[in-house]
Amino acid sequence: MPTIETAIEVFVRGHSAGRSRTFPYQISRVGALWWMRDAERKNARDYRKEEWIAYDVTPEDVDATARRHTRGHFYLGVVIAMGTPDAPVRAAYKALGYRLVGTEGFFVQPLRHLPSAPAVSQSVERVRTPELASRLGKITRKRPIADDLLSDDAPFRQYVALDGQEIVGRVRSVDAAGATWCADMFVEPSHRRRGIGRALLSRMLHDDKAKGSACSVLTATHTGALLYPHVGYQRIGTLLMLGPKS
């Protein structure tokens, strides 16, 4: 099992790569903290909120560092290891003027045991053509995947579940720090509880291992946290998402 510090680096680098699809999203280290933010823009009003990721750093130090270095609005992502009470951490950030935006489970699949794909009536495919990438872009309302990310050796792999010609599920894998970052797992409500999510993840994880990935890392909402252990993910922590009140 990779260390939590390793998993955090995979998360940061994979998340940043995803955000960079529309505009370069840069990574820096400030002491023990990870810092993600847009590259320089002509108009300061176009900057997206910066993100600071902390693990095993006191709330006071995280707050002081973020406020000292940020150029605008920011969020904090605080990772707490499994078995560590999170109530004292939440209380400390609340006392510093932060509000809790949300919490997600922090998971790792070591890729030692790969799940078998369940039998489903839908086909699961990797997005390899501009036509399918365009269809996916229309559904997600995002820029279609660039042609250079559709090749076999691309560091970005998008998978879809097709019910006929309809895209009913999707998931993405991004190469990061010798491992892979899993993001944007989604199945249409009308097609849930049919094994589509497991089928997508199984295909993705087999490809991850074939690419030489050391592990797959993801964060999950409460609903997702119920699915991922069925395909071999193990929860190693919790991610607190916090925003300053002012």
When pLDDT is averaged across residues 199-221 and rounded to a whole number, the result is: 97
> Per mean pLDDT, which range of 106-110, 146-150, 183-187, 237-241 is the poorest?
146-150
What are 21-66's pLDDT values in tens digits?
A: 889 999 999 999 999 999 999 998 999 999 999 999 999 999 999 9
Residue 72 pLDDT level (bands cut at 50, 70, 90):
confident
Q: How far apart are CA 144 and CA 203, in angstroms?
A: 21
Worst-scoring range by mean pLDDT, 6-10, 138-142, 235-239? 138-142
- Mean of pLDDT values over 14-25: 94
Note the pLDDT tens digit of each residue in 99-128: 999 999 999 999 999 999 999 999 999 999
Q: Where are the alpha helices (DSSP H) in the chain?
A: 4-19, 59-69, 87-95, 130-140, 196-210, 222-227
Q: Evaluate whether 172 touches 18 at the Cβ level (below 8 Å).
A: yes
pLDDT the model gives residue 2: 86
Mean pLDDT of the chain: 95
pLDDT of residue 223: 84
Instruction: Look up tokens 């097609």; give the residue.
Output: 191
The token pair that represents 24 in the structure block: 């370069």
Q: How confident is the model at residue 87 (pLDDT cuts 50, 70, 90)?
A: very high
Q: Is the pLDDT of residue 3 over 90?
A: yes
Both tokens assigned to 92: 């400390």
pLDDT at 67: 95
In this structure, are strands 74-81 and 50-55 parallel, antiparallel, or unpaired? parallel
Which DSSP state fits 209? H
Task: Check pLDDT > 80 for residue 246.
Answer: no
Q: What mean pLDDT is predicted for residues 178-199?
A: 96
* 104: amino acid identity, one letter: E
Predicted TM-score of the model (pTM): 0.95
Q: Cβ-count burial of 185 within 10 angstroms (0-12 exposed, 13-18 middle, 19+ buried)?
A: buried
- pLDDT value for 204: 98
